[in-house]
Structure 1
């Protein structure tokens, strides 16, 4: 089976400018002082750039794709994203700004599980009381409440780390205070689902900006 990216190499060679490819070679290929670059070959695993260095020397630089590319559309978007990230890293552009909050509901069941089920199991009386406590009492007969507490603490700690990472994304991408509060609060409840969706928004914003720029 032919490589879906290599089959469209000629089209992909013109996706970004020689100056942008030089930035990609510098940032991703650690190539040093590159003046311009052009794509010699590209496939789903990597691309080879022929780089012209200051002083007129030429050398090929290989940049690997991780994860590997799956299609022409994926390759085009990845090249544009790499252009944006390299320009940010080299101080030639600023990270995209996200101005609003978007609810990502996929992690809500996880939050309900951690912040409802665990407290129910931990704080239900071990004996007697309403039938409402019967499932918790049955669970307590098989699992020590201390172990349930440790699992709850681990879950909360993991969500707290995800919340911190979400906050760093909000700070880096100039998200307004109200939306930052919403993002970090939802991340504490849903965990990684929130920042995964936020990073998708950031990626789209990067690609759009790179597509519009020269």
Structure 2
């Protein structure tokens, strides 16, 4: 797990830092959110299509990681609130599938509403930056460091403990600054946007 986490974080950090730093060095504040189509060039079409397919695959996985706890929370709360309700607790067997009506209705409604909101306010890059900046520190830095400190039984105020705490603090500051920047981008997009028309 340590090797996989190191490779994952190193690869994603290198990729995003290269895109961000090289894009800013080349274009300054006018760097487009989408390097493939941000300049109005859509050729070669196959490259843009492959890039969009990769984005869809990436976001499907990320969406599942974020939304599954929300689904589970609402479904568990509903079971506790209405233990006798058949809609909430009964599962119907259709072949090898077991379908619960609450789960089917709730999850479908959530996805439809999230899709409509995403289409109405299509600030894809600014919104994605906000989500990334607010989830980076707790999920990628804080919890893994805390688990490591507990698991390795690192002494309080030792050199390793101080270094890990300093790393966590620096990443928290970076996350706060990134969140502030993405909020500013979101506010700028809100001022110039039209419903159902992408601005990023």
For the aligned pair, the TM-score class normalised by the smaller chain equals under 0.3
Q: Which has the higher strand share?
A: 1
- CA radius of gyration, larger in: 1
After TM superposition, the score normalised by the length of structure 1 is 0.26
After TM superposition, the score normalised by the length of structure 2 is 0.28
Q: Which has the higher helix share?
A: 2
